[in-house]
Amino acid sequence: MDIFWERLVWLSDDAPSGPATDAETQEEDDGRAWYVVHCYSGSENKVKRNLEQRVESMGMKDKIFEVIVPTEEEIEIKDGKRRVVERRIFPGYVLVNMIMDEDSWYVVRNTPGVTGFVGMGNKPTPLRPEEVAQILKRMESETPRIKVTFEPGQRVRIIDGPFRDFTGKVADIDMERAKVRVLVNFFGRETPVELDFLQVEKT
């Protein structure tokens, strides 16, 4: 299985629930579809610009309609500090909405930075409408994902609140509530303490 499809399976398991809208799933009658293009990781935005310039200069607007780099906002919590960063959902991949034929394939495939289409063998495989809908929902979500640098079983230090300077072991993480339960040693006994993500850091 290509790494893109592995990430897409993860995305579908993790995607917000709710029906897709007609605008997200509607297929055009002219044969257009979304295809996945592989490129060098870190060059996604450059490939997007290069491809858009080629579409313009080569008169391919009637066959190549849109190029997107799927991203989402993520709250990164590190050393007790919170910052919002934009994260690529599929590093090393760009999505192209196009009508696939020999000419459009050539334009995309020969764009600087593109290493190929994702598909079975040499045949590009279009995304299913529901897969496109999941990606668009992820991009349009108003609630940023939260990224933490610790995981269950790791030792952390409490840096804020009444238990400041205590250390303990992470018991579990509640992503929805942005809470972490830490087992802190009181008088030889481990006691669970619920804390905000901002109140702890890895030791």
CB 108 within 8 A of CB 114: yes
Arithmetic mean of pLDDT, 44-51: 96
Nearest CA to 132 out of 158, 157, 182, 98 is that of 98
Number of DSSP helices (H) and strands (E) in the chain, helices first: 5, 14
What is the CATH code of the structural domain delimited by 149-202?
Answer: 2.30.30.30
Question: Residue 26: pLDDT above 50?
Answer: no
CB-based contacts of 176, cutoff 8 Å, min separation 6: none
68/195 Cα distance (integer angstroms): 38
Confidence (pLDDT) at 23: 39
CB 165 within 8 A of CB 80: no
Of the chain, the percentage scoring pLDDT greater than 90 comes to 40
What is the CATH code of the structural domain delimited by 3-147?
Answer: 3.30.70.940
Which one-letter DSSP state was computed for residue 113? T
Confidence (pLDDT) at 74: 79
CB 32 within 8 A of CB 86: no
Question: Residue 198: pLDDT above 70?
Answer: yes
Side chain identity, residue 135? I
pTM exceeds cut of 0.75: no
137-151 pLDDT per residue, tens: 888 876 677 777 788
**Where does the chain hold its CATH 3.30.70.940 domain(s)?**
3-147
Structure tokens at 157: 């230090």
**Where does the chain hold its CATH 2.30.30.30 domain(s)?**
149-202
48-90 pLDDT per residue, tens: 999 999 999 999 999 999 999 998 887 777 666 777 778 888 8
